[in-house]
Chains A and B, each alone.
Chain A
Amino acid sequence: MNALVKPPVLAWVDVGAVTDIPRRGARRLPSPAGDVAVFRTGDGEVYALRDACPHKGGPLSQGIVHGRAVACPLHNWTIDLATGHPTGADAGKGCTPVVPVEVRDGRVLLGVPAARD
């Protein structure tokens, strides 16, 4: 097996309806490991990242969503929603972890590791 492959997601948690997230906007979701930002683009696609910019930890859920990217509200770094990587002038400077997310029947499902026995 490729060592880089992420551990499989074993459970999906329903966190709300797609329409709970404004188009070209985001919502914040608290979790024990810190907040998650769930984004919805102008095209209606849903992405999820840890709610922290790789630069100074700014809450990406509060940024302006454009195309498939978000501009961090603190210092305007632009983060690719699909990869968590900064783009443009800040490319290559760190990365925000991507959170597995799926949309089924208009519901947003977040991937969590299954509880260990």
Chain B
Amino acid sequence: MSRQKLVVIGNGMAGCRAVEEILKRDPDRYEVAIFGAEPRVNYNRIMLSPVLAGEKAFADIVINDEAWYRDNGITLHAGRAVTALDRERRVVVAEGGLEVGYDRLILAVGSDPVRLPLPGADLKGVVTFRDLDDVEAMVAASADPQAKAVVIGGGLLGIEAAYGLARRGMQATVVHLMDVLMERQLDESAGFLLTQAMRERGVETILGAQSEEIEGLDGKVTGLRLKDGQVLPCDLLVMAVGIRPNGALAKAAGLAVGRGVQVDDAMRTSDPAIYAVGECAEHRGQCYGLVAPIWEMCRALADDLTAGEGAYQGSVLSTRLKVSGVDVFSAGRFSGGEGCEDIVFRDAGRGVYKRVVLEGGKVAGAVLFGDAADGNWYFDLMRAGTDVAAIRDTLIFGQAITEGLAGLDPSSAVAAMADTAEVCGCNGVCKGAITGAVTAQGLTTLDDVRAVTKASASCGSCTPLVEQLLKLTLGDGFQAQVGPKPMCKCTSHPHGLVRERILSLELKSIPAAMQALEWTTPDGCSSCRPALNYYLLCAWPAEYRDDIQSRFVNERVHANIQKDGTYSVVPRMWGGMTTPDELRAIADVADKFSIPAVKVTGGQRIDLLGVKKEDLPAVWSDLNAAGMVSGHAYAKGLRTVKTCVGSEWCRFGTQDSTGLGIRLEKFMWGSWTPAKVKLGVSGCPRNCAEATCKDVGVVCVDSGYEIHVGGAAGLHIRGTEVLTRVATEQEAVWVICALVQLYREEGWYLERIYKWMDRVGLDSIKAALADEDDRRALYDRFAYSQRFARIDPWAERVAGRHHEQFNPMSRRLEFAPA
């Protein structure tokens, strides 16, 4: 029987693997010819990244050398692009007019890299990242030690390209349209860690960046201009923004082509003699750009071509990043969704973040960063649809631990552990060391064990295990420890420890804090996020970028939400003083915007109630024009300074209480604090400004100023305690600012001053302020922080900041939603 002629167009990974699979099944059935557009043997395209990085040579990534073609009797037409298919005559036509006939034809023509149609895209030095020629061009560009590279696209390929270029000594920057790197594979937490890891490897990242134009000089690229006007100088610009299945040849031949060449489950195109496989194929509406699905397609295709029954069912995807020392794995519905449940594990010491998503008791997806060893295990569980209810508690710790403990109840599992088994990974403490220390040194508490062995003293993730060991060793002598209350259900850490770590570990963003402190949820909750946002703002006033999505609505829109969803607006009146012009402006605003209620507040301000949200910026604009700024009546921050008229008018006044109140308010406004802070300054002990029920109060006396702290007139009614007495107004300002700064640094989020005072004790506050240098340092930190805080948020929003907060998403719908 004469052999059938099989022609493969495409000498890439898909084409060659298809041939290998066929030869494996039936080596004598076909006479094979392969056409390849590149003048090379078949190589492993996904390993181009290590070649670029200089970690592998081209020879290392060749899959099939010339001997393979020869030994298997395959004719290779390398460097010959196929120009047409003649389906009538069953002939392929290649460059130079070469014609080769076929009985069966496989299209494995892959995909083309997408080139963004930016102005300047044709300049020299603008490349894609697809084949060895691209790699060679990039390597050549990196020869200049000063050279800079910009990579457009923060997906898998873009990151690998940037890493490779950085390894070659270039300064590389990734420009990504989205706000998370590899957003198709990573959630925000993992994306954040990746951004950090790339920075450590010399790759900067600009997120949310839209490229506008590629700039050049003398026909050569000089930089990339972003939509915000920023120009990134570069000598090499790599576009890694995706791939487009190559369907041109098939389309010209009249085959059905959608996004790719459409195939059935046997990988047959609309012409049963022609198959398509790999990145050029579209199966059930899906095109694939990863290697695993391509292998699966090749197997189905080979089955069909040899046994007449190929059944490709589509692929479930998993991804691994090929950057040395950065372990990243992602599969399935890594970001959860309806009906899903998250299990999150973080190990700050090792830079690990793991998130396994369960749905209906089965693994629906996983994203792993820093330790991806169990990726395949999760992937297998996911594909097999294994019910994981029985191993749920240990699932996140991986296969070894889960299978090691299978079938044992927790305490017997702990009992069964070998003495040499490691319990605390951070400090390398094994079981025997812990039980030995407990017995030999008579340890009885977790803290004892921590102090003696260091087990559970770092990340704390082994705490339950250490407690089990204590219990096991001590028997009834063990008593569980009750520590300080955690901040919320997302963490085991109390407020104080979180604040301390933010400073000592220099954590400067919410994702950084959640990772380092091993939060057990992906993005916190409505309780911890505002707290972290405040703690970071307080710790790093110059550097921290406020996260408005972690603020309560009032602080997000700078007004107070009311029961009907309207807002109230309170302009600042320094020390409670106002002018006829201000009052006229307020009256005009109330008329102009039909504001239904105007009220005088307890803090000596005027409240405009019932303002529609979309009117807020216009209301503020008019108030700004009359010289008024936000009164922060909505803020966990400095609210009002209430004053009496003092020595200026009052026959009993001893000091200028109004003047001091105005001075304090003008210096302290805009500051954020753990909870609201209200001040009062009374000009004499008759106390008309009610200073002794304020958070901080001043009572002027003939000899100077009494500084009071810790009053309240809300849920609780509390008189203040006297903190100190000072002789001059200047000293009063110093002491009050130092006191407020101490509260800012020590208070727990939402803890009013009087509660903070109850917790730490008035004596501790007095002691912290007693020393002049300490007091001065606190005052200086407050003053420094105020440099960034005394900015009118209303004026910023009138100028357009966060405009999306005030406008509906689109015009009014014409129909009611279903």
Contacts and interface: CB of A to CB of B under 8 A. Distances in A.
Contact of B815 (A13, A22, A64, A67): A13
Interface in B545-559: 548-554, 556-557
Interface in B768-818: 804, 808-810, 812-818
A64 B551 CA distance: 7
B179 interface: yes
A95 interface: no
Interface string A41-78: 11111001000000011110011111110010110101
A43 B817 contact: no
A84 B188 CA distance: 24
A23 B188 contact: yes
Interface string B522-556: 11111001100000000000000000111111101
Contact of B561 (A25, A30, A36, A62): A62
A44 B179 CA distance: 10
A90 interface: no
A48 B816 CA distance: 13
B349 interface: no
A21 to B, nearest CB: 7
B136 interface: no
A114 B604 CA distance: 54
A92 interface: no
A91 interface: no
A78 B183 CA distance: 27
Given A31-B816, A62-B561, A74-B561, A44 B529 contact: no
B809 A28 contact: yes
A6 interface: yes
B39 interface: no
Contacts of B810: 15-16, 29
Contacts of B812: 30-32
A27 B808 contact: yes
Contacts of A28: 808-809
Contacts of B818: 6-7, 9-10, 99-100, 111-113
Contacts of A56: 563
Nearest to A45: B337
A29 B814 CA distance: 11
Contacts of B563: 56, 58, 74
B339 interface: yes
A33 interface: yes
A45 B362 CA distance: 21
A4 interface: no
B521 A16 contact: no
B814 A32 contact: yes
A115 interface: yes
B335 interface: yes
A67 B183 CA distance: 17
Interface string B283-300: 000000000000000000
Contacts of A22: 548-549, 804
Contacts of B336: 43, 45, 68
Nearest to A25: B549
A18 B530 CA distance: 24
B188 A43 contact: yes
B565 interface: yes
Contact of A113 (B339, B521, B808, B815): B815
B813 A36 contact: yes
Given A32-B815, A76-B526, A42 B809 contact: no
Contacts of A24: 523, 549-550
A41 B553 CA distance: 16
B523 A67 contact: yes
Nearest to A56: B563
A90 B749 CA distance: 24
B338 interface: yes
A115 B815 contact: yes
B304 interface: no
A31 B813 contact: yes
B815 A31 contact: yes
B817 A111 contact: yes
B187 interface: yes
A20 B804 CA distance: 8
A34 to B, nearest CB: 8
A67 B808 CA distance: 23
Nearest to A108: B809
Contacts of B552: 64, 73
B808 A30 contact: yes
Given A23-B188, A30-B808, A64-B552, A43 B815 contact: no
Residue of A25, A43, A110 with highest tally of chain B CB at under 10 A: A43
A88 to B, nearest CB: 10
Nearest to A8: B818
Nearest to B367: A43
A13 B144 CA distance: 53
Contacts of A59: 561, 565
Contacts of A112: 813, 815-818
Contacts of B524: 66
B95 to A, nearest CB: 37
A63 B561 CA distance: 11
B522 to A, nearest CB: 6
A110 B188 contact: no
Interface in B219-250: none
Interface string A97-111: 001100000001011
B674 to A, nearest CB: 17
Contact of B816 (A33, A43, A78, A100): A33
B335 A45 contact: yes
Nearest to B338: A82
Contact of B529 (A13, A64, A108, A110): A64
A44 B713 CA distance: 43
Contacts of A48: 817
A22 B814 CA distance: 24
Interface in B444-488: none
A13 B338 contact: no
A22 to B, nearest CB: 6
A68 B335 CA distance: 10
A42 B552 CA distance: 17
A73 B813 contact: no
Nearest to B565: A59
Residue of B548, B553, B812 with highest tally of chain A CB at under 10 A: B553
A25 to B, nearest CB: 5
Contacts of A44: 180, 183, 335
B816 A32 contact: yes
Nearest to B357: A43
A61 B655 CA distance: 49
A58 B552 CA distance: 14
A60 B178 CA distance: 26
Nearest to B335: A43
A9 B808 CA distance: 23
B633 to A, nearest CB: 16
A67 B565 contact: no
Given A30-B812, A33-B817, 5 more contacts: A45-B335, A57-B565, A58-B565, A63-B526, A82-B337
Interface of A: 6-7, 9-11, 13, 15-16, 20-25, 27-33, 35-36, 38, 41-45, 48, 56-59, 62-68, 71, 73-74, 76, 78, 82-83, 99-100, 108, 110-113, 115
4 closest A-B pairs (Cβ-Cβ)? A43-B335, A33-B816, A71-B526, A27-B809
18 contacts: A11-B815, A28-B808, A29-B809, A31-B815, A31-B817, A33-B817, A42-B187, A43-B187, A43-B188, A62-B557, A64-B553, A73-B553, A82-B338, A110-B813, A111-B818, A112-B816, A112-B817, A113-B815
